[in-house]
Structure 1
Amino acid sequence: MASAHDRAVLQAIFNPTTPFGDIPGLNQEEELTDDDACFDPVLLQQVKDLELKGVSSAEARDLNAALQHFNQAIHTLPSRASAYNNRAQARRLQGDTKGAFEDLELAISLSKGTGRSARQALVQRGLLLRLAGRDEEARADFERAAALGSEFARQQAVTLNPYAALCNRMLSEVIGKLRNPDVPDMQ
């Protein structure tokens, strides 16, 4: 039976773009929750129901209805981060990148950078920043989201890390030479 170290080495060899030490199944995203204890339980349940309706509407491609549900949730509990995060996704799908970015800023601020809403908002903002060509800021968001347990964010952070990219390219070349020792260098 292989040790965790052995599995990590094999992972680095066969999947050089993943962070060293990442073993499939070992780093599952842990289920984070938001701290909702400060909210009235009746209002909180209403807001959660509105958010579920909003997500269902968005999945059915009715973005206007989704936005109405998220807006109502925000109006009911304006200091809860989750609805801003969800509304950002609907806004992004409508092409309102500026509005999505504003909602993500609020979600991160209201969540104080912790919990499930913060993790999701950081990933979304990282993706928007990456689309805008602001890779350093995107990498910082992905690193923060990875620290909150997002495996996707961890992979994005590694992809955006220039040193990791160089190391991954060199490791790929070495593995290629080990697999095909008779192929001459193409430099």
Structure 2
Amino acid sequence: MDQDPIVSPHDKAILQTIFNPSLPYGDVIEEEQQLSQEIVEIETDEVKQVKHLELEGVQAAESGDMQTALEQFNKAIQILPSRASGYNNRAQALRLKGDVKGALEDLDNALNLSGGQGSVACQAYTQRGLIKRLEGDDEGAVADFKIAASLGGQFAKQQVIAMNPYAALCNQMLAEVITKLRSGEGEP
């Protein structure tokens, strides 16, 4: 009979230190939420149509045509207003167009519709974290990045590490030591 090993918080902290040496000891990024199941979407004709509209919207946004992107995302949302992905995609286009308030509203809708789980929620938390960081809300940004990281977002995990004040201080001190060594100040 196989049993799952019991991992203590101390064990998690040690493993986290090994895999993320930039984090101070004990600062563990929770990964339990990664185990949550992704909602399986049934491929109806409406879902196929909405996915096609979203793809066209993403392509338009990538080419810099935000107006067309927003039109495609709006159509997708009109067809399936309960699908989180459309709001997440439209939020990106709104943010790029400068409508931060509208982007945040759409991200909140995406998170509500996704139940805060799965890849769409991971993307929405990451986007919201980026907006909060740009707006100067570092505490809120880190909170969103931590949730996105727990949902499997590697970029979000990197942001949590980069925004850690202890890691930043260590990096600054290391840079100063290297600069001194290069200039000959640190030699005996």
Q: The TM-score by the shorter chain falls in which range?
A: 0.7 to 0.9
Q: Distance in 2 between matches of 1:93 and 1:177?
A: 38
Alignment counterpart, residue 113 of structure 1, candidates 103, 113, 116? 116
Please, which moves more after superposition, 39-48 or 128-137?
39-48
Q: Distance in 2 between matches of 1:108 and 1:173?
A: 42
Q: Indicate the RMSD between aligned Cα atoms, in angstroms.
A: 3.2
2:185 matched to 1:183?
yes
What is the TM-score normalised by the length of structure 2? 0.73
Give per-residue Cα distances to partners, 1:78-123, cap 9 Å, x unaligned.
Answer: 1111010100111111111110111111111111111111111111
In structure 2, the CA distance between the partners of 1:78 and 1:169, relative to structure 1 (3 Å rule), is same
Answer yes or no: is the 8 Å Cα contact 1:122–1:144 preserved in 2: yes
Please, which moves more after superposition, 67-76 or 55-64?
55-64
Which residue does the alignment assign to 1:35?
39
Alignment counterpart, residue 148 of structure 2, candidates 145, 150, 167? 145
2:69 matched to 1:69?
no
In structure 2, the CA distance between the partners of 1:117 and 1:164, relative to structure 1 (3 Å rule), is same
Shift of 1:163: 2.5
Give per-residue Cα distances to partners, 1:124-162, cap 9 Å, x unaligned.
Answer: 100100011000000001111111122211111112222
Answer yes or no: is the 8 Å Cα contact 1:56–1:66 preserved in 2: yes
Answer yes or no: is the 8 Å Cα contact 1:158–1:164 preserved in 2: yes
1:133 partner SS: coil
2:69 partner SS: helix
Structure 2, unmatched stretches of 5+, are 1-14, 25-33
Which residue does the alignment assign to 1:128?
131
Structure 1, unmatched stretches of 5+, are 13-17, 21-29
Q: Distance in 2 between matches of 1:180 and 1:144?
A: 40
The alignment of Structure 1 onto Structure 2 pairs a total of residues equal to 162
Letter in 2 for 1:139: V
Which residue does the alignment assign to 2:98?
95
Alignment counterpart, residue 78 of structure 1, candidates 81, 104, 107? 81
Q: Distance in 1 between matches of 2:60 and 2:183?
A: 56
Letter in 1 for 2:39: D
Runs ≥4 in structure 1, deviation > 6 angstroms? none
Shift of 1:164: 2.7
